[in-house]
Amino acid sequence: MMKFICLIVLISFGTSALAEFRVEMLVAHGEQCGGTKDDLLKLSLYEISDTSTGKCMIDCMCKDVGIMDKNGKYNKDNLKTFIRSRWSEYDQYADKIADICEIELKDDAEEDECQYAYDVASCFAGQMRQKHFFDSLLEKVKQFHDKLKSGSYKTPDSVKQKLNEDLAQLKTLLQ
């Protein structure tokens, strides 16, 4: 069965072909991070699964893209960089979203790293949704979601390869 990779990684681009490609990369990342098919279905709609596997998938994804460090702590500066690298058209919101999440997560002393990652991702995804980051993608995302739900989708190797290249490039940016 298909597995998911991190939300966060939440991606929004103008063309429908590119939108589908970005959702495929999101799904491939979730798959690498151990998400289940149900987690993937939620992720494909830019929603965050609240299952234990979904939360741990998000933990893995957030660490991969630097939104959380290896010790499981929120990294505000890396969230700003991540937003700017994926949604340059929303650059003006990066600082505000990262600052709001820092405030919201300040008193969040979760011992469970997966739950903390879920809280981190819920914060920034919620802020991004309020700023309409995903509106232009929703129709194409719903079509992709239907393919996942029916079981007719399999992540192409080319998407997995591009994901690994993008993750490596993002890690270089964050250093």
| Alpha helices (runs of H) in 33-93, residue ranges in sequence order | 37-43, 52-64, 76-86
Decide if 2 contacts 57 (C-beta within 8 A). Answer: no
Distances (CA, A) of 127 to 104, 130, 142, 146, 148: 11, 5, 21, 26, 26
CA dihedral (54, 37, 138, 78) positive or negative:
positive
Q: Where are the domains of the chain?
A: 16-174
Distance CA 66, CA 47 (A): 20
pLDDT of residue 51: 96
pLDDT of residue 175: 63
pLDDT of residue 58: 95
- Give kind and range of the element (H or E) at residue 97: helix 94-105
Decide if 117 contacts 68 (C-beta within 8 A). Answer: yes
Neighbour count for residue 21 (Cβ, 10 Å): 18
Decide if 26 contacts 9 (C-beta within 8 A). Answer: yes
pLDDT of residue 103: 92
pTM exceeds 0.75 for this model: no
Average pLDDT by stretches of 10, the chain with 175 residues: 31 43 80 91 85 95 91 92 82 92 81 92 89 69 72 72 72 67
CATH tag for 16-174 (out of 3.30.565.10, 1.10.579.10, 1.10.238.20, 3.30.360.10): 1.10.238.20
